[in-house]
Amino acid sequence: MTSPGDRVLVEHPTYPNALDAVRAVHARAVPVALDRTGWDVEALDAALRRSVPALAYLIPDFQNPTGMRMPASTRCEIAALLRRSRTPVVADEPLVDLDLDGGVAPPALAEAVGEPAITIGSASKTFWGGLRIGWLRAPAEMVARLVAARPATDLGCPVFEQLLLAELLDGRDALLAGRLDELRTRRAALLDAVRRHCPNWSVQPPGGGLSLWCELDAPGSSRLAVLAAQHGVRVVPGSRFSAHGGLERRLRLPYALPPDVLIGAGERLALAWAAVGAVPDGRMAADTDAALA
């Protein structure tokens, strides 16, 4: 879909592994910031006109890491912009099934865009993180190109896991209902832990997905990630979700673990955050370099 030097339009923030994929093919990410309410259609229009990207990569449903869902009206507006600029889009939908608040699902972005649009997803979010089976939906001609290109990097999915997924899909509704109940409980536990132990942080409960996108009361997300590891909690700093760094006031906290673990993690994060303010910047930089070495 791209050649070295091509531009790829992405959200800011966005999924880190997508940014890695852009860099791996020597393309350049063009970030369009999400505001507190969601997607800025005017900013996206300006980015399309200015940078003329070869591809757009968007996460419309329970966006990773913000947890926001693109409204139906916004999908129509963005779809019109993509069609006008003839920009192919990859719509990443691994979290689309994890609607925790039971809202009315908007139409798929690919439905609004038409051709060319590629939709991708994964059983690892709907059913179980260890089931690494993905899927792709695209126009037939595009699928043929992708199938031809695939053997260079991937010879195929394991047959056993595919058979297992086929069985899971037969009982999807019942299995998904139980998983959603479980995730609602875990989301509530982590929200409570953050509000109790880090009361100065700001967090908007997501309508779905698997994580909270917290706003810290001071910059220091990267420093917190280093010190949290020393307290037994592994977190990803906000800068990892940015094409060009920054987001030091942001931290993604997944709620995929059991409630008691999440509650304990909240307590440890509070201790680590208190330690961030107690460590001089120079000392923190030295410790980080040593850890990376």
The residue out of 158, 191, 221 marking a domain boundary is 158
* Residues counted in the chain: 293
| 202 and 256, same domain (yes or no) | yes
Q: Kindly indicate the confidence band of residue 285, based on its pLDDT and cuts at 50, 70 and 90.
A: very low
**212 class by beta-carbon count within 10 Å (0-12 exposed, 13-18 middle, 19+ buried):** buried
pLDDT of residue 120: 95
Q: Name the token pair of 55.
A: 């591809």
Residue 268 has φ and ψ, to the nearest 5°, of: -70, -35
Which position has the higher pLDDT, 64 or 287?
64
**pLDDT per residue as tens digits for the range 192-243:** 999 999 999 999 999 999 999 999 999 999 999 999 999 999 999 999 999 9
Average confidence score pLDDT of the chain: 92
CATH number at residue 252: 3.90.1150.10
| 282 and 196, same domain (yes or no) | yes
**pLDDT per residue as tens digits for the range 43-74:** 999 999 999 999 999 999 999 999 999 999 99
CATH number at residue 51: 3.40.640.10
| 152 and 249, same domain (yes or no) | no
pLDDT of residue 245: 87
Q: How far is CA 289 from CA 80, 148, 195, 241, 272, in A?
A: 46, 42, 32, 21, 18
| 152 and 111, same domain (yes or no) | yes
Q: Quick check: helix, strand or coil at residue 90? A: strand
Q: Name the token pair of 230.
A: 């020393």
Residue type, 293: A
| 65 and 201, same domain (yes or no) | no
- Crossing angle between the packed helical segments 221-230 and 259-278, to the nearest 10 degrees: 120
Q: Kindly indicate the confidence band of residue 278, based on its pLDDT and cuts at 50, 70 and 90.
A: low
pLDDT of residue 293: 25
The residue out of 112, 129, 158 marking a domain boundary is 158
Q: Quick check: helix, strand or coil at residue 137? A: strand
The residue out of 112, 127, 158 marking a domain boundary is 158
In the chain, pLDDT over 90 holds for what percent of residues?
84
pLDDT of residue 281: 53
Q: What average pLDDT score do residues 68-93 get? A: 96
Closest by alpha carbon to 6, among 31, 21, 32, 26?
26
Range of the domain at 236: 174-292
| 178 and 150, same domain (yes or no) | no
Quote the number of domains for the chain: 2
Q: What is the C-alpha separation between 39 and 45, in angstroms, rounded? A: 11
Residue type, 11: E
Q: Is the pLDDT of residue 290 over 50?
A: no
pLDDT of residue 292: 28
Chain position carrying tokens 């479980």: 182
pLDDT of residue 252: 97
